[in-house]
Amino acid sequence: MMLVDSHAHLEMPDFKRDLEQVIQRAKESGVGYIFTVGTEKKDWQRALEIADSHAFVYAILGVHPHHAKEIEDQTYPTLRRLCQNGKVKACGEMGLDFYRNLSPRDIQLKRFREQIGLAKELGLPIVVHDREAHQETLEILRSEKAEECGGIIHCFSGDYEMAKACMGMGFYISVPGSITFKNAEGFREIVKRIPLESLLVETDAPFLTPDPFRGKRNEPSYVWYTAQKVAEVKKVSFESVAEITTENALRVYRLR
């Protein structure tokens, strides 16, 4: 059996001390692929270096909404060039974060639209960050015809109606370790209703560490705990979750 960690941040400082051990643990636990996400310009090259030096690690590059205000004249030309590397499998994570509002909302909206356009130009899927901006996220995906590139709603936090709308545009819904949290009953009910054929699993490492490791740094090997909870919630075998979410990830990232 194999699992895919469809979203991690191995280039972050949290992994500087023991990155090779973290990657080895993932490999030994049966994680067949890791997709590491560079969320700002200063991290893109590092994400690519990690992907280039590990056969089963791939990169996703983009500008997180927290950093939307930092985009300047050379940001997109640099991103366009780096995304032409064969180890880059998506643009992102891009989107809207109206919870922290670390970039002004109008700037977030503008940069989200621009990055969807860049992804379509490059022929890459997108990885979408949406936090407390569900309606605005849907409006942009629709108006920008994001179904033309498809992709993933990372770390899904909307309701079932949003999930249904995103699936209707060909997007996958990605489940993080928060599904294991005691207070996540509402989220579990949503996951129960989403077809397994539209689900991915992720760690978002080093964040959102699943039980029983909550409070510690997350890492790709822990994606197994998320997959186990998905199997429990949906009352299907763990083998089915592993097989189908792996196939989904390889399809959306165009490794199939």
- Angle formed by the axes of helices 134-143 and 105-122, to 10°? 40
Retrieve residue 122's tokens: 């490059």
Residue among 131, 132, 224 nearest 177 (CA): 224
Write out the E strands in 62-156. Answer: 88-97, 126-131, 151-153
pLDDT score for 43: 97
Residues 252 and 200 sit within 8 Å (Cβ to Cβ): yes
Q: What pLDDT is stored for residue 256 in this prediction?
A: 87
The pTM assigned to this predicted structure is 0.98
pLDDT, position 112: 98
CB-based contact 219:26 (threshold 8 Å) = yes
For residue 225, the one-letter residue type is: Y
What are the chain's domains?
A: 3-252 (3.20.20.140)
Q: 36-39, long-range: CB within 8 Å, 24+ apart, which pairs?
A: 36/8, 36/9, 36/10, 36/11, 36/60, 37/7, 37/8, 37/9, 37/61, 37/62, 37/92, 37/93, 37/127, 38/11, 38/62, 39/9, 39/63, 39/64, 39/66, 39/67, 39/93
Q: Is the bond leading into 93 cis (omega within 30 degrees of zero)? A: yes
Angle at 187 between CA 182 and CA 193, to 5 degrees: 130
Cα dist. 121→76, 118, 126, 249 in Å?
12, 5, 12, 22
pLDDT given for residue 102 in this prediction: 98
Rounded to whole angstroms, the Cα distance separating 77 from 37 reads: 18
Instruction: Provide the residue type at 3 as one letter.
Output: L
Mean pLDDT by 10 residues, the chain (256 residues): 97 98 98 98 98 98 98 97 98 98 98 98 98 98 98 98 98 98 98 98 98 97 98 98 98 96
Q: What angle do CA 160, 164, 167 make, to 5 degrees?
A: 135
Locate the DSSP E strands across the chain. Answer: 3-8, 31-38, 57-61, 88-97, 126-131, 151-153, 171-175, 199-201
Cα(217)–Cα(213) distance, rounded to whole angstroms?
8
33, two tokens: 């692929």
Residue 244's pLDDT is what?
Answer: 98
